[in-house]
Amino acid sequence: MKQYIKQWLPAAVLSTLLIASGFIMPYTGLDLKTKQALIIFFICIVFWIFRPLPEYLSGMLGGVALILIADIPMGQVLSSFATPVWWMGLLAMILGITINHTGLGRRIAYLLLSKAGSTPLRILFSTTMVNNILAPFIPSNTARGALLCGITDSLCDSLGYVPGEKKGDHTIMLANLYINTTNTFIFMTAMAGNLLCVKIIADATGHQVTWMEWFYAAFIPGLPLMIILPILINKIFRMQPPPAGFKGTETAKRCLAELGPMTKAEWSAAIIMSVTLLLWVTENLHGYNSTICSFTLVLLLVPGIGAVKWEDIGPRIPWPALIWLGFAMGMGAIIDKLKGFRWLVDSLVMDSATFQSMSFSSFMLVMIVCIIFIHFIFAGMSAMVMVIVPISIALAQQRGFDPVAVGLAASMATTAGAFFMPFNSAPNLIFYATGRFDVKQQILGAVPLAILICLALTLALFFWWPFIGMVRL
């Protein structure tokens, strides 16, 4: 009951205030349709933040409200379900389900762990590497977090660590928690929020960011972070070596042996997964619209060739997440088309003398730092994406800054960094539920990591992105 009140009360109060503002405030410069659409949009964001209803249901209700109240055509509300970005999210989710269903994900994890050795850094690097390898194919850090949490929790038990003692298991679990919420910005298909960001950028600027363009932009700031992060966490939370004579790799080797040789389904999944990644990487060369990749789905399901049957994966597809993604993308596109974000920027920011005097460098530095550290108060990244990315692009357009570069930087800062508190994301709660670390420890490691992410994104923006032609300084 207490949790119910904590979710519904603030959502109801804020939604009521937003509705009242439509009657009290003039919303100067907006026509009635845009004002209604903007209020509905912010009510949806409130519901996405406090989650009194599932995100997909809030999105559906918002779509219905746009149709009935703001007189938005149903075709516009549902248009995002036909976009390549939405289908790319569906395909990536199916690939992730296939990897888990066939056992290929577990095999990859145990294989790396079996080669790691028993030194603290090797254990940390091997477990975090599994997440990095799976990130392009599992567009949900919740799904990856659940998989890695189970593996690392089992590994901690095998190493002799007892939950609550925090003699080394907290180091392993926190390193994997941070990786799981940081590598999300490296690959476009690492989480659904990235696909939403790409759609917002395309709607606002006309530029469709490809899988490879995203990877080029994120690779340089991302790779050093993936290397530094395990070392940093081991410095902050010194991991005690396992008991003398104990080899942690034995558990992984035993589990790997129990899996036996690779099955036909695993081989099929591995080959199809590799081909799909190759098509995403080379999209600019062959011109094939690999965001849909319908043939990949066909290959996965063809008898004798494919890795799974539809009855194996269909019930496991996270349709609620896909429904939310479609309605959220459509809502953002509608608000952008109605110039709602531009009006918001003009009203709240453009009259500010401080903002008017900001250089591009100052603007980007402030924006990146603010976005990274505002994760502290958000529960999930859905609402952050819908608020921060379009407003950041609108600000850039008003000042004549490169909107694509600003949009990418805002997107990457938004989809990385939800690691300060357990409630910031679902995978955080999954890791926290193991009882192997506490909130104070999580914050202690999150702050220096957040500073590193700010530094990495800023350096990439001013040095790497101009070099590859992704930004005009």
Q: What is the pLDDT along the chain (473 residues), one digit of tens a residue?
A: 676 777 888 889 989 999 999 888 888 888 999 999 989 988 988 887 787 888 889 989 999 999 999 999 999 999 888 877 677 777 767 777 787 788 887 787 677 777 776 677 888 888 888 888 878 877 777 777 777 777 777 677 766 777 777 677 889 889 999 999 899 899 988 887 888 889 889 988 888 888 888 999 998 899 999 999 999 999 998 877 665 444 557 777 877 888 889 999 899 888 887 777 677 666 656 655 555 466 677 778 888 777 888 888 888 887 887 888 788 878 877 887 888 877 876 676 655 666 767 888 888 888 899 889 888 766 567 667 877 888 888 888 888 888 988 999 999 998 888 898 876 777 887 788 788 888 888 989 999 999 999 999 999 988 898 888 876 55
* AA letter at 311: E
What pLDDT sits at residue 452?
Answer: 94
CB 427 within 8 A of CB 241: no
Burial class (CB in 10 A: 0-12, 13-18, 19+), 7: middle
pLDDT for position 246: 46
CB neighbours of 323 closer than 8 A, spacing ≥ 6?
Answer: 56, 59, 60
**Whole-number Å distance between alpha carbons of 401 and 208:** 18
pLDDT at res. 464: 92
Phi, psi of 30 (to 5 degrees): -110, 140
Cβ-Cβ contacts under 8 Å for 78 (sequence gap 6 or more): 63, 326, 330
SS3 content of the chain, % helix, strand, coil (to 5): 75, 0, 25
Contact 44, 14 (CB under 8 A): no
Instruction: Report DSSP letters for 181-235, one per residue.
Output: TTGGGTSGGG-HHHHHHHHHHHHHHS----HHHHHHHHHHHHHHHHHHHHHHHHH
Spatial neighbors of 42 by CB under 8 A, at least 6 apart, are 18
* 129 Cβ neighbours under 8 A, 6+ residues apart: 112
The domain spans of the chain are: 1-72, 73-467
Q: Do residues 445 and 237 make contact, with C-beta atoms less than 8 angstroms apart? A: yes
SS3 75: helix
Amino acid in position 49: I
Give the pLDDT score at 307: 82
Whole-number Cα distances in Å, 396 to 5, 90, 367, 401, 472? 39, 31, 11, 5, 12
Q: In this structure, are residues 185 and 416 in contact, taking their beta carbons and an 8 Å threshold?
A: yes
Look at phi and psi of residue 71 and say left if phi exceeds 0, alpha if psi is from -120 to 50, else beta: left
Distance CA 275, CA 77 (A): 34
End-to-end CA distance of the chain: 53
Q: Give the Cα separation of 198 and 325 in Å (integer).
A: 12
Non-local CB neighbours of 234 within 8 Å, separated by 6+ positions: 120, 121, 124, 171, 175
Q: Which two tokens stand for residue 121?
A: 């850094």
Instruction: Tell me if 128 sits within 8 A of 226, measured CB to CB.
Output: yes
For residue 256, what are its two tokens? 């790997």
